[in-house]
């Protein structure tokens, strides 16, 4: 075979991707519990007690020869004697995670079972060491990666897999201090080609180095482009990043591009030609998906907004659409949106939407997300937000945005200026009872509505953990504000989640003025107890500091 096939040098055209990553583990039963039961992998093949002359040479020949040449015991450099089954044996499992496989290998005394400890001790797994490997698992785009980290820790601690503790991004000086820190896990503030890259680091149950990451937006576009180039160069057809089986065609290379783009393309294919840097042209054919749900239209609308071209954005609205951004004045129709966007476009260079959850109920879509704003001066802000979007046909009739965008418009030496101004399920009834206790400031009863590990988070402020901490924070707020009523616009009970869209009305205790806070609250239940409460307010007029 010509080693320069397709004008390429090297051996890439002999390969078809990466088949698996191997990991030697100390405790095999503990590892299988973690990779199968916690992370959901599936055993492809495996077996216990392998040995043999050829197997030994296959695995250890170079290390053994070098040890013998130096006159040292091969075991001192990690050579497991599996020649004849009288000394050591090998156990192995290949565990599939869909787009790749993790191989678990385990060397132990041949006279013992696979539950015995590995024959050799652990070596450092810090990525600072040369040759230290790590395995990264791909978290779905619509998962809140910080919530995933919290659930991963809780599940592993419940099972006694105490090595699995996710690194925070806040400095700690001891393991105890690390565990008590606020649950700030994910590193997400990357830019340029890495925009959209988010990751967690933690140790596995044997101390192995693990990563959990998401690849969205610009980063996903780059990985998808590289996939296309690899496929074109080597005659393969892999599309792991998009979890979509695509048509194989010798004359064309198919790519789903990035998720925020391809989900909203029209009904015909786009054919794009790119030069791969080596004088050859790669043809990328993007199969397009027709918009079929209101949620997809919302995603398409966000994508249009990210183009920073207001004309792309206003096409999604009816002529009489109501548009309100927090406490800014209501505007109507495409022309009102154009006029209200002038100051925004003068300040903000780019905007990205990181969707956490999206619910579609009748003609209404509720979207919980973080929004990243990049100002023209390069400063980056990622702020929590919740939108409610009501449709008339396939156009947006009403959009209300619940967030506090003040930080984006506060420049150095400036001070923030105040801005101008359907459910009846069992969980809803429970929530109504909680609000009765809250209005009465009956804190003893109030804390009974929550699970012991409640996460309570207001806007971009640090979360607090536990019912008592939640009560303490609200007591602090109520020293300044008196909660009077709620004007409920919408309330939805969806599975174990309640979404409440409202204006919260307060009297300021110091100057007796009326203060209205538009917001969306999202409550998640475990049984009949609230275990997560997130508030997306514009509290800029309250004067309360948390």
Lowest mean pLDDT among 170-179, 259-268, 436-445: 259-268
Q: Identify the pLDDT of residue 275.
A: 41
Q: Identify the pLDDT of residue 256.
A: 27
Most trustworthy range by pLDDT among 84-93, 120-129, 284-293, 413-422: 84-93
- pTM here is 0.51
Contacts 24+ apart (CB under 8 A), 404-408: 404/326, 404/459, 404/460, 404/537, 404/538, 404/539, 404/540, 405/325, 405/326, 405/373, 405/538, 406/540, 407/381, 407/383, 407/460, 408/347, 408/348, 408/373, 408/375, 408/381, 408/383
Q: Identify the pLDDT of residue 145.
A: 85
Percent above pLDDT 70 for the chain: 86
Query: Does residue 12 surpass a pLDDT of 70?
Result: yes
Is residue 484 very low, low, confident or very high in pLDDT (cuts 50, 70, 90)? Answer: confident
Q: Identify the pLDDT of residue 412.
A: 61
Q: Whose structure tokens read 């990690």? A: 78
Lowest mean pLDDT among 111-115, 179-183, 506-510: 179-183
Is residue 267 very low, low, confident or very high in pLDDT (cuts 50, 70, 90)? Answer: very low
> Which residue has better confidence, 364 or 8?
364
Contact 541, 517 (CB under 8 A): yes
Query: Does residue 146 surpass a pLDDT of 60?
Result: yes
Is residue 488 very low, low, confident or very high in pLDDT (cuts 50, 70, 90)? Answer: confident
Q: Identify the pLDDT of residue 246.
A: 37
What are the φ/ψ torsions at residue 367 (nearest 5 degrees)? -125, 120
- Alpha-carbon distance of 224 to 242, in angstroms, equals 8
Q: Identify the pLDDT of residue 401.
A: 95
> Which residue has better confidence, 236 or 41?
41
pLDDT tens column, 319-363: 999 999 988 889 999 999 999 998 888 888 888 898 989 999 999
Q: Identify the pLDDT of residue 104.
A: 95
Query: Does residue 368 surpass a pLDDT of 70?
Result: yes
Query: Does residue 254 surpass a pLDDT of 70?
Result: no
What are the φ/ψ torsions at residue 13 (nearest 5 degrees)? -75, -5
pLDDT tens column, 59-93: 999 999 999 999 999 999 999 999 999 999 999 99
Q: Identify the pLDDT of residue 7.
A: 45
270-275 and 281-286 strand pairing: antiparallel
Closest by CA to 289, choosing from 304, 299, 277, is: 299
Q: Identify the pLDDT of residue 252.
A: 28
- Alpha-carbon distance of 354 to 380, in angstroms, equals 14
pLDDT tens column, 333-343: 999 999 999 88
> Which residue has better confidence, 245 or 107?
107
pLDDT tens column, 168-196: 888 888 888 887 777 778 887 777 888 88
Q: Identify the pLDDT of residue 294.
A: 92
Is residue 416 very low, low, confident or very high in pLDDT (cuts 50, 70, 90)? Answer: very low
Q: Identify the pLDDT of residue 279.
A: 41
β-sheet bridge partners, residue 364:
361, 390
Percent above pLDDT 90 for the chain: 45
Contact 212, 139 (CB under 8 A): yes
> Which residue has better confidence, 114 or 227?
114
Query: Does residue 473 surpass a pLDDT of 70?
Result: yes
> Which residue has better confidence, 56 or 241?
56
Q: Identify the pLDDT of residue 185.
A: 86
Is residue 244 very low, low, confident or very high in pLDDT (cuts 50, 70, 90)? Answer: very low
Is residue 241 very low, low, confident or very high in pLDDT (cuts 50, 70, 90)? Answer: low
Q: Identify the pLDDT of residue 16.
A: 74
- Alpha-carbon distance of 330 to 401, in angstroms, equals 11
Is residue 143 very low, low, confident or very high in pLDDT (cuts 50, 70, 90)? Answer: confident
- Alpha-carbon distance of 77 to 123, in angstroms, equals 11
Q: What are the start-end ranges of the E strands in 276-427?
A: 281-286, 317-325, 331-332, 348-361, 364-375, 380-392, 395-402
Q: Would you give the distance in Å from CA 385 to the centre of its chain?
A: 16
Over residues 140-161, the mean pLDDT reads 88
Q: Identify the pLDDT of residue 525.
A: 94
Q: Identify the pLDDT of residue 189.
A: 75
Query: Does residue 240 surpass a pLDDT of 90?
Result: no
């Amino acid at each position: 075979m010509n080693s320069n096939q397709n004008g390429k040098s090297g051996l890439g055209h002999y390969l078809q991707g990466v088949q698996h990553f191997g990991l030697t583990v100390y405790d095999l039963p503990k590892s299988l519990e973690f990779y199968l039961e916690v992370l959901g992998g599936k055993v492809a093949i495996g077996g216990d007690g392998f040995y043999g002359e050829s197997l030994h040479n296959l695995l250890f020949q170079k290390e053994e020869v070098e040890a013998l040449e130096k006159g040292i015991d091969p075991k001192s450099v990690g050579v497991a004697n599996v020649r004849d089954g009288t000394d050591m044996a090998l156990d192995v499992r290949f565990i599939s995670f869909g787009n790749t496989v993790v191989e678990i290998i385990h060397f132990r005394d041949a006279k013992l079972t696979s539950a015995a400890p590995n024959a050799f001790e652990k070596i450092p797994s810090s990525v600072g060491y040369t040759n230290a490997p790590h395995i990264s698992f791909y978290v779905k785009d619509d998962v809140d990666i910080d919530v995933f980290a919290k659930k991963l820790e809780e599940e592993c601690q419940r099972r006694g897999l105490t090595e699995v503790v996710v690194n925070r991004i806040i400095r700690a000086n001891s393991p105890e201090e690390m565990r008590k820190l606020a649950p700030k896990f994910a590193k997400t503030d990357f830019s340029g080609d890495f925009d959209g890259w988010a990751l967690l680091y933690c140790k596995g149950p044997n101390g192995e180095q693990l990563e959990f990451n998401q690849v969205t937006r610009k980063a996903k576009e780059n990985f998808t482009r590289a996939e296309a180039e690899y496929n074109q160069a080597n005659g393969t057809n892999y599309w792991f990043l998009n979890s979509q089986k695509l048509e194989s065609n010798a004359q064309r290379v198919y790519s789903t591009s990035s998720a925020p783009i391809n989900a909203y393309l029209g009904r015909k294919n786009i054919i794009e030609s790119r030069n791969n840097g080596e004088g050859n042209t790669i043809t990328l054919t993007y199969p397009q998906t027709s918009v079929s749900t209101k949620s997809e239209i919302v995603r398409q609308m966000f994508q249009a907004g990210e183009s920073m071209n207001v004309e792309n954005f206003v096409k999604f609205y009816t002529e009489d659409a109501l548009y309100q951004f927090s406490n800014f004045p209501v505007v109507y129709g495409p022309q009102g949106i154009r006029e209200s966007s002038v100051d925004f476009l003068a300040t903000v260079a780019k905007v990205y939407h990181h969707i956490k959850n999206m619910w579609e109920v009748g003609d209404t879509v509720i979207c919980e997300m973080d929004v990243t704003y990049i100002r023209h001066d390069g400063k980056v802000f990622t702020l929590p937000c919740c939108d409610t979007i009501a449709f008339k046909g396939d156009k947006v009739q009403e959009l209300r945005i619940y967030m506090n965008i003040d930080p984006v418009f506060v420049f150095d030496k400036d001070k923030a200026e105040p801005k101008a101004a359907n459910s009846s399920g069992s969980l809803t009834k429970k929530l109504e009872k909680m609000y009765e206790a809250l209005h009465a400031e009956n804190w003893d009863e109030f804390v009974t509505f929550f699970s012991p590990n409640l996460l309570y988070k207001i806007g971009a402020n640090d979360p607090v953990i536990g019912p008592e901490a939640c009560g303490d924070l609200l007591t602090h707020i109520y020293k300044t504000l008196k909660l009077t009523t709620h004007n409920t616009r919408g309330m939805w009970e969806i599975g174990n989640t309640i979404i409440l869209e409202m204006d919260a009305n307060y009297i300021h205790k110091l100057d007796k003025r009326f203060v209205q806070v538009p917001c969306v609250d999202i409550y998640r239940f475990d049984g009949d107890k609230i275990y997560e409460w997130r508030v997306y307010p514009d509290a800029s007029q309250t004067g309360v500091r948390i």
